[in-house]
Structure 1
């Protein structure tokens, strides 16, 4: 009788442990996915993707540095053999309202980025444009910043998107030497759409 009762208690305890483990596993948050190198806009030379890193990069993004919280962010850098690079940064906020506020703050930072760059670099010239909203989840907003420094003789073009899916915000940055008319804007819009759609 005692053996039967002990076996029953043991079985119940094991069942409870398994149930607790299953519940904990089910409750574990799913980390958002990142773009792969093949999903970047077409380039003359192949894209290479670095591993996804925790936090924020030491060399911050020019337009959005210091805005996203480091503890809840991850990023991935992409590069080609030419002077073309890209970065995706993803932040998971504690609530959808905070994610919405973060996305708005990032968009404002990009919209004012050219003026800040001009203040920091006397002689810098440029144009900034908003290229509209890509229809995916809560949307992805696309921007371009075209800069030149006549004294140095350099021209650079940067494309940016800020997208959101629920509590998750992702920022995509792409840059190379050249001007807007030589940038893959339509390809970047498609990549921006994928960057949000692929998160979950």
Structure 2
């Protein structure tokens, strides 16, 4: 068996180090890019004020994680981004979008969120029997790979009423939720304008 010289050993070690260095230097898989988001001008007009848009931020807001309608369905916040919108009055909105690893997982996320939104009113009343909750289905929108609009009205035991519009949409691997709310009832909800906002949201994803 040939004797391994010190020079040969050093050469072998150098080659191994080079191989490890090459492996370490290999580029990592690119992180998902944030999808496109609504702009302030895309929100339903609110008489007496204007919309201001926050920055697109990675993750899911802590307050939204506790939301009984969409908090669980949004997941852990990995590969998720959100944008807050506000006015000088009582009206606010938020868009949250998640890029899933595959279309099938995006379909699953969409289905889970849809299920949670549809059952939201019943679960609110179960959790707090003194709060009245009513739900309206405003139908599908012909955009992307599917979108739907819902309305939720809640009234507390002391008479405070809130109206909320929720749009759920998907385009490929990306799922988005647009949430609008203010004081009032179903009659105060700008459903037609919000459907336009929801359509724009899905169209802007990619």
Scaled to the shorter chain, the TM-score interval is 0.7 to 0.9
SS in 2 for 1:89: strand
Residues 27-81 of structure 1 deviation map (CA, whole Å, 9 limit, x = unaligned)? 8854311000110011121011111110100111441113223111000111111
Asked if residue 32 in structure 1 is aligned to residue 2 in structure 2, the reply is no
Unaligned runs of 5+ in 2: 1-26
Gaps of 5+ in 1: 1-23
User: Structure 1-normalised TM-score?
Assistant: 0.83
Which of structure 1's runs of 4+ aligned residues deviate more than 3 A? 27-30
> What SS does structure 1 have at the residue aligned with 2:182?
strand
Question: SS of the counterpart of 2:63?
Answer: coil
- How many residues of Structure 1 are paired with residues of Structure 2 in the alignment? 174
In structure 2, relative to structure 1, the CA distance for the partners of 1:122 and 1:166 (3 Å cut) is: same
Q: Separation in 2 of the partners of 1:111 and 1:84?
A: 23
Q: 1:155-194 to 2 correspondence within 5 Å?
A: 155-194=161-200
1:42-53, aligned counterparts within 5 Å? Answer: 42-44=45-47, 45-53=49-57
Secondary structure class of the residue paired with 1:31: coil
**Among 42, 55, 62, which residue is 1:58 paired with?**
62
- The aligned residue for residue 108 of structure 1 is 115
Structure 2 counterpart SS, 1:59: helix
1:112-131 per-residue CA deviation (whole Å, 9 max, x = no partner) reads 11111112222211310111
The C-alpha deviation readout for 1:93-115, integer Å capped at 9, x for no partner, is 00001001100100100001111
Q: How far, CA to CA, are the matches of 1:168 and 1:181 in structure 2?
A: 32
2:92 aligns with 85
Residues 30, 58 of structure 1: alpha-carbon distance in 2 compared, 3 angstrom cutoff? closer
Equivalent in the alignment of 2:106: 99
Matched, 1:153 2:159: yes
Instruction: Compare CA radii of gyration and give the structure with the larger one.
Output: 2
Residue 71 of structure 1 corresponds to 78
C-alpha root-mean-square deviation of aligned residues, in Å? Answer: 1.5
What's the secondary structure of 2:179's corresponding residue? strand
Give the distance between the partners of 1:62 and 1:82, measured in 2 at CA: 24
